[in-house]
Structure 1
Amino acid sequence: MNVLEGSVKGYKEMKVPYAFLNKTEKPKGLAIILPGISYTVRSPILHFATGAYLNRGYEVLHINYEYHTDHYDHFTYEELKSAVAADVMTVLHETLRDADFESYYLVGKSFGCLAMPEALNFYPLRNAKTVWLTPQLRAKNVFEEMLNSQNKGLCMIGDRDSFYNKESLEQLQTNKNIDYFIPPGANHALEIDGQTLESIDLVKRVVKMINEF
């Protein structure tokens, strides 16, 4: 596998690392992965989803902002929300200015989903397929993007997730461009508390759905 690492200066001149991964010289497309604050690209679902895209012949872009580190301790939550949108767009503009992939996937996990509405306005991603993993449904920009999206999408969130909201989901499901998987008993990691083997089965199912989408 080939890995090309780099970084940009993002919000307030903070360093934002990124990495391109590929297993072929002629990838079918690009999958962009936006992790959560503590749910990194090394966490189970994003790790295996990366492998799934690579095995399908896609190149993968990890945007590895480091909001979980001490460098961001002085940031308020509102500043972090501003940072993730700015940092993602900076990486996209820096790395994809001359890109010409035939297809794109945009995969966000929790906090990473906050940057997806703006990223979808980036011209190369206008027709990207979207994967919303445990999105913050009460965030206005996320809710409105999902409600009105013309992009084909897949959303997965458990009913034991703190961001789960039944009323919001009922409204969002009126948009038939996005399919929903709401596993009962699943927490914010899309795992089941106290149930190791059941959690492994659920992670496997989630990755399978991402791979088949």
Structure 2
Amino acid sequence: MKIEKRSILTEGNKDIQYTHIQNNSQVICFMFSGSGYTYDKPLFYYSTMVMLENNFDVVHIHYSYNQSELNLPKDELANLIVEDVNPVVKEVIGNGDYDETIFLGKSLGTIPIISMFANDSIYSNSKMIILTPLLQHDLYYKRLLESKNKTLLVIGNVDTHYIPEKVTKLAEKTNFNIIEIVNANHSLDIEQLATSKSITALNDLITDLKDFISK
């Protein structure tokens, strides 16, 4: 295994750093962190472990946004994140020999997947793993509805972004596998402070993720 930390200068003159974990694989998983939910947090830590266990390559893209950027209109925020991450994806794929691409994001990190990669014909065969998407915002929800990619979507039913009618509508899509975790919040932890149940839920999720990427 080879781990390289690199950076790329975007057209907006922003320096975006990324970590490329290489197994000489023909499958690569690009991961997009949440706001404050970084790659050392449980969902990303164990998702990364699963990918490496399957001998896939993994890329962690490192970005951050201030409050004024996060408060931008939703389409502008989406464009901002896409402009930051797309050059990394293009560079890594352009320099590699990959037959399959997987995109995994949580919360804020689902925005570039939903807004670009899941609706780009170049990635029509890519698998999408959407953890706790921001379903309160109709723009992102509508773009999810348009996606034809094979998608695993995971959300807790006490997440503030859990909108039952929207989840039900997405579950009607034959290319979507929806996992609702009972009593899980936006971090997919079980409330109220249920440590053992949270660990069990995480274990179940990782098992589902393994099944999803193996099919």
TM-score of the superposed pair, with normalisation by structure 1 = 0.89
Q: How do residues 46-195 of structure 1 correspond to structure 2 at under 5 angstroms? A: 46-67=44-65, 72-78=66-72, 80-116=77-113, 117-121=115-119, 124-193=122-191, 194-195=193-194
Q: CA RMSD in A?
A: 1.9
CA distance, structure 1, for counterparts of residue 117 and residue 67 of structure 2 = 25
Tell me what 1:207 maps to: 206
How many angstroms apart in 1 are the aligned matches of 2:3 and 2:195?
A: 32
Amino acid at match of 2:195: T
Report how far residue 160 of structure 1 moved: 0.6
**In structure 1, C-alpha distance between the alignment counterparts of 2:90 and 2:17, rounded to whole Å:** 14
Check whether the contact 1:105–1:129 (CA below 8 A) recurs between aligned residues: yes
Unaligned runs of at least 5 residues, structure 2: none
Q: 1:96 to 1:158 in 2, by over 3 A?
A: same
Residues paired across the two proteins, number: 207
Looking at structure 1, the residues matched to 177 and 38 of structure 2 have their Cα atoms a distance apart, in angstroms, of: 24
User: In the TM superposition, what whole-angstrom CA distance separates every residue of 1:129-177 from its partner, at most 9, and x where no partner exists?
Assistant: 1111000113344322321322111100001101100111121112110
CA distance in structure 2 between the aligned counterparts of 1:64 and 1:83, rounded to whole angstroms: 14
Shift, 1:11, TM fit? 7.3
In structure 2, distance between residues paired with 1:73 and 1:173: 33
Amino acid in structure 1 at the alignment position of 2:102: Y
Task: State the AA in 1 paired with 2:69.
Answer: F
- Offset at residue 64 of structure 1 (A): 1.3
Report the equivalent of 2:17. 17
Q: Distance in 2 between matches of 1:92 and 1:122?
A: 13
Larger displacement relative to structure 2 (81-90 or 156-165): 81-90
Structure 1 residue runs of 5 or longer lacking an equivalent are none
Deviations 1:37-84 (A, max 9, x none): 1111111011111011011010001111123xxxx3553521644321
In the TM superposition, residue 3 of structure 1 has moved relative to its aligned partner by 0.7
Q: Counterparts of 1:81 and 1:38 in 2: how far apart (Å)?
A: 17
Q: 1:184 to 1:20 in 2, by over 3 A?
A: same
> 1:3: which partner in 2?
3
SS in 2 for 1:212: helix
